[in-house]
């Protein structure tokens, strides 16, 4: 066992079903399964991990899939001296795809992962993505940041007080903040909260939250590039959106649809930000349909 903080039996099982591969001297946790191709590649959000997708992938027994923890997240390495750039996470995604030998993927992304996805779209538009995107599904992410409603903890971590906020982070404050992302009808369970904290605290990840949130600055810096990719990428792109998300609100969805007016949108009226945890039985069919017709 490589986990140095307290963990849970459920996280232990998730870890046991995966592997760590080395990319540029860093260990990255990856889960895969074989099956019908093209494989589905899942990208997670902040501040969680590939564990977010576990309830969806178990409902896709016939499909090949891969999900991994971005550097700094979940069960992957969490170097404290690293600049956690989304460009670097996109490079990592390319390396994972190459390691797994995929020449095309169905890409499914949530939250922060949607910005990694839009960087991959931009590279594809430029003709320099080394694999084919068969189709893309984006779930609740603040891709148009000015339309989003950032939480108090996100704002604090982005401020000059960010290092102190991260240093003082603890399980109690995390549970309270994380619970606010879930809908009233599908609240955060004690078990889920324990699992998510264990994955965040692994390797001291909660102490670098102010570094991990660097991606919000990049959403401003690269807005024109990533918005342009949403508009100009000529493949099949769909959106699945939880309408009770307090951060990536319906206003964000409206802004994305302004960029991509012909995108197919599946709306979930009663779900919150972590829709794939709240209602995996509703999300899995959307993924399966897209994967069946790449």
Question: How many C-beta atoms lie closer than 10 Å to residue 162's C-beta?
Answer: 17
User: Structure pTM?
Assistant: 0.95
- Classify 41 in phi/psi space as left (phi over 0), alpha (psi -120 to 50) or beta: beta
Helices (H), ranges, the chain: 9-16, 54-57, 86-100, 112-125, 152-158, 162-167, 171-179, 190-201, 209-212, 215-221, 223-232, 250-259, 275-278, 280-292
Name the token pair of 111: 């939250």
Q: CA-CA distance, 42 to 105, in Å (whole number)?
A: 10
Name the token pair of 122: 């931009």
Contact 279, 52 (CB under 8 A): no
Contact 35, 63 (CB under 8 A): yes
> How confident is the model at residue 117, as a pLDDT?
98
Sequence-ordered list of residues with C-beta below 8 angstroms from that of 185, at least 6 positions apart, any chain: 270
Name the token pair of 243: 């309408």
pLDDT in tens, 140-177: 999 999 998 877 778 777 777 777 778 778 999 999 99
The packing angle between helices 190-201 and 9-16, to 10°, is 60
Contact 104, 38 (CB under 8 A): yes
The packing angle between helices 112-125 and 223-232, to 10°, is 70
Task: Report which secondary-structure segment, H or E, holds 19.
Answer: strand 19-23
The low-confidence residues of the chain, meaning pLDDT below 70, are 1-5, 294
Question: How many C-beta atoms lie closer than 10 Å to residue 151's C-beta?
Answer: 16
- State the first-to-last Cα distance of the chain, in angstroms, to the nearest integer: 38
Q: CA-CA distance, 90 to 70, in Å (whole number)?
A: 9
Contact 209, 111 (CB under 8 A): no
The packing angle between helices 250-259 and 223-232, to 10°, is 60
> How confident is the model at residue 294, as a pLDDT?
57
> How confident is the model at residue 3, as a pLDDT?
39
Q: CA-CA distance, 151 to 63, in Å (whole number)?
A: 35
């Amino acid at each position: 066992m490589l986990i140095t903080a307290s963990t849970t039996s459920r996280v232990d099982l998730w870890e046991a079903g995966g592997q760590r591969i080395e990319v540029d001297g860093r260990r990255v946790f990856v889960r895969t399964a074989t099956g019908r191709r093209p494989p589905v590649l899942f990208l997670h959000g902040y501040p969680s991990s590939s564990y977010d997708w576990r309830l969806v992938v178990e409902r896709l027994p016939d499909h090949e899939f891969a999900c991994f923890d971005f550097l700094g997240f979940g069960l992957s390495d969490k170097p404290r001296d690293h600049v956690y750039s989304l460009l670097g996470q996109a490079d990592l995604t390319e390396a994972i795809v190459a390691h797994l030998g995929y020449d095309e993927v169905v890409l499914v992304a949530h939250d922060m992962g949607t910005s990694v996805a839009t960087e991959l779209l931009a590279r594809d538009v430029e003709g320099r993505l080394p694999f084919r995107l068969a189709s893309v599904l984006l779930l609740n992410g603040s891709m148009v940041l000015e339309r989003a409603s950032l939480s108090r903890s996100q704002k604090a971590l982005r401020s000059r007080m960010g290092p102190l906020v991260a240093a003082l982070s603890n399980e109690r404050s995390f549970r309270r903040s994380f619970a606010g992302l879930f809908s009233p009808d599908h609240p955060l369970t004690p078990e889920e909260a324990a699992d998510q904290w264990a994955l965040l605290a692994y390797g001291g990840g909660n102490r670098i939250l102010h570094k991990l949130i660097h991606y919000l600055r990049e959403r401003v810096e690269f807005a024109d590039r990533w918005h342009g990719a949403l508009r100009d990428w000529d493949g099949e792109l769909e959106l699945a959106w939880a309408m009770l998300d307090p951060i990536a609100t319906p206003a964000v969805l409206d802004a994305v649809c302004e960029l991509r007016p012909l995108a197919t949108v599946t709306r979930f009226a009663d779900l919150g930000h972590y829709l794939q945890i709240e209602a995996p039985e509703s999300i899995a069919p959307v993924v399966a349909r897209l994967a069946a017709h790449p």
